[in-house]
């Protein structure tokens, strides 16, 4: 099965949290929180929490829920290493975009 090789990364979790934020009504807090919590817990388990994930999580849930999910820590450096060990804090999609055509800027001899 080719999909067995596919794994979620920080970008994937940011997108999933965006879906929660944009498509689930704010009034339906319980549903928003349940989905956001599930995605965030999976993100923590896979070690892909980064600044972008935290920012999107904060936009998706209430401030109180956010603080509960991050265990009342203040910033990414205070999170458990296991939550962030596989994450890149740089915007990987723009890095990929900037690295396209890698030899284009080299001088020709």
- For the cut 70, the answer to whether the pLDDT of residue 93 exceeds it is no
How large is the C-alpha radius of gyration of the chain? 17
| Rounded distance between C-alpha atoms, residue 78 and residue 81, angstroms | 8
Task: Give the chain's mean pLDDT.
Answer: 84
- Mean pLDDT across 21-26: 95
- Tell me which H or E stretch contains 18: helix 10-23
Band of residue 27 on the pLDDT scale cut at 50, 70, 90: very high
| pLDDT value at residue 106 | 43
| pLDDT value at residue 75 | 85
- Mean pLDDT across 21-49: 96
Tally the C-alpha atoms within 13 A of residue 104's C-alpha that lie toward its C-beta.
Answer: 5
- Three-state SS for 78? helix
């Amino acid at each position: 099965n080719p999909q067995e090789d596919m794994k979620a990364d920080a970008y994937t979790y940011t997108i999933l949290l965006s879906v929660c934020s944009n498509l689930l009504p704010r009034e339906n807090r319980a549903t928003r929180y349940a989905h956001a919590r599930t995605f965030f817990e999976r993100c923590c388990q896979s070690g892909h929490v980064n600044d972008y994930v935290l920012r999107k999580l904060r936009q998706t849930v209430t401030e109180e829920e956010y603080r509960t999910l991050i265990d009342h820590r203040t910033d990414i450096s205070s999170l458990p290493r296991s939550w962030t060990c596989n994450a890149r804090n740089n915007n990987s999609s723009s890095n990929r975009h900037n690295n396209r055509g890698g030899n284009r800027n080299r001088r020709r001899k």
